[in-house]
Chains A and B, each alone.
Chain A
Amino acid sequence: MNPSSNTRDDQRDLAPGDELITDGDVASGLLGYVIGFVLALGLTACSFYVAGSDLIWKPGIPTGLIVLAVAQMGVHLVFFLHITTSPDSTNNVLALAFGVLIVVLVIGGSLWIMAHLDHNMMPMDKLMEIQR
């Protein structure tokens, strides 16, 4: 088998993690990682700064942190894992979309249901009285 991968076969589909560049084009590959690294560092710094400051409205901080986290995950996906919108990457994106759907259902559903259960539960002191 040909040790140098990226045969013509591989340029029709993209494996996750692969980039659509040729072997000679190292500079653009390197640039992608550097851009991703800088963006991720910036978003991380923002998260740590926003969490401790009163730059944004206090009750909005958790939401702001989650937004920053989602943005950083997007940066990682695009620049490190190379999950992009290129037509060759369709399968990878669809699998990711399904994964995100399940993650949202699991986390959102758990929080929703548990908040309702919590709301409907008898206060703990009353519960103790009944059990006594």
Chain B
Amino acid sequence: MSVGATASGMSGDPYKLGYSHHGHLEPGTDEATGHGEGGPASKRIVVAYGFWIFLLSDIIMFSAFFASYAVLSGATAGGPTGRELFDLPRVAIQTLCLLTSSFACGLAAIATRLRNHLWTQIGLLVTGLLGVVFLALEFQEFTTMIAQGAGPSRSAFLSSFFALVGCHGLHVTAGLLWLGTMMAQVFVKGFQPPILRRLMCFSLFWHALDIIWVALFSVVYLIGAYS
């Protein structure tokens, strides 16, 4: 802000790179984005940024699975195609479960910001239950397909399908285990800074899984079932 600039006499530093809130300005009056004198970011920022990098690398790993599925989706080796196998009403319910689960996770994050134990736990519980329903439906789908003789060893298309969708399912499973751990930790230890950081990372993870599912139901199920 101009107040800060005139106070410090540094009008030659339009981006205020050398002046952070630790410097000469009144706290809250500057809009410095640089950290010339500010020192390192807080641990909360560092942890979340590192986890964001992990999520992006996880998404890149998924992109390799998507690429192999896209390449192999026509290689059915005379076996069943997606049009015959995919049950779209179930996929719609799965999508609804995961989307609502993500929403509940966001509500739990708001309750956490308010330091409200009850609503945090309720939000996390709803998140987890919807995740369990999602996984149960996916398990049912896989067992039905394998019982029809359309297991991962039937064709290259089915191998890549099970690898891609199964990898997402494994992520959801891991997320549910993490969710249970977080509920126990919030219950036992309360809202300590390390717990808050873990909760933040968990909600990032859960939202990222929902993003991957959006790509999955569009590319695999909808395009696969109608083309």
Q: Can you name 21 A-B residue pairings with CB atoms under 8 Å?
A: A3-B191, A5-B196, A7-B42, A9-B45, A10-B44, A12-B35, A13-B45, A15-B47, A17-B109, A26-B110, A29-B110, A37-B99, A51-B223, A51-B225, A61-B223, A69-B219, A80-B210, A81-B208, A102-B63, A103-B60, A110-B71
| Across-interface contacts of A84 in B (CB, < 8 A) | none
Alpha-carbon distance A12/B20, docked complex (angstroms): 9
Say whether A47 contacts B226, CB under 8 Å: no
Give Cα A23 to B196, complex, Å.
14
**A96-B56 contact given A3-B193, A13-B41, A33-B106, CB 8 Å threshold:** yes
New contact pairs (9) apart from A51-B226, A95-B56, CB-CB < 8 Å: A16-B49, A17-B203, A17-B204, A33-B110, A44-B214, A51-B222, A80-B106, A95-B49, A107-B67
Interchain CA distance A5-B207 in the complex, whole Å: 22
Would B191 and A110 count as touching, CB distance under 8 A? no
Chain B residues lying within 8 Å of A20, measured Cβ to Cβ, are none
In the complex, the chain B residue whose C-beta lies closest to that of A67 is B218
Tally the A-B contacts, defined by beta carbons under 8 Å. 164
Which A20-37 residues sit within 8 Å CB-CB of chain B?
23, 26, 29-30, 33, 36-37
B6, CB-defined interface residue at 8 Å = no
What is the number of residues of chain A that contact chain B, defined by CB distance less than 8 Å? 59
Assembly CA distance A97 to B218 (angstroms)? 22
> B66 touching A4 by the CB < 8 A rule?
no
A106-B67 contact in complex given A61-B226, A69-B218, A76-B210, C-beta closer than 8 Å: yes
Bound-state Cα–Cα, A17 to B205, Å: 10
Also in contact, A10 and B42, with CB within 8 A (given A106-B63, A110-B67):
yes
- Neighbouring A residues of B114 by C-beta, 8 Å: 23, 26
> Is B70 part of the binding interface, using a Cβ–Cβ cutoff of 8 Å?
yes
Contact B222 A65 (CB under 8 A): yes
Stretch in B26-34, B139-147, B162-170 with 4+ CB within 8 Å of A: B26-34
> C-beta contact mask, B33-65 vs A, less than 8 Å → 1, else 0?
101001001101101110111001101100110
Is B103 positioned at the interface, with any CB of A under 8 Å from its CB? yes
Residues of chain B within 8 A (CB-CB) of A12 are: 20-21, 32-33, 35, 38, 41
Q: Whole-angstrom distance between the alpha carbons of A99 and B56 in the complex?
A: 6
User: Closest 3 interchain pairs by CB?
Assistant: A15-B48, A99-B56, A110-B67
Chain A residue at smallest Cβ distance from B60:
A102
What 1/0 mask marks residues of chain A from 89 to 122 whose CB sits below 8 Å from any chain B CB?
0111001101100110011011100100000000
| B-contact bits for A49-73, CB 8 A (1 contact / 0 none) | 0011000000001100110110011
B107 part of interface (Cβ distance < 8 Å): yes
- For B219, what are the chain A residues with a Cβ–Cβ distance below 8 Å? 65-66, 69
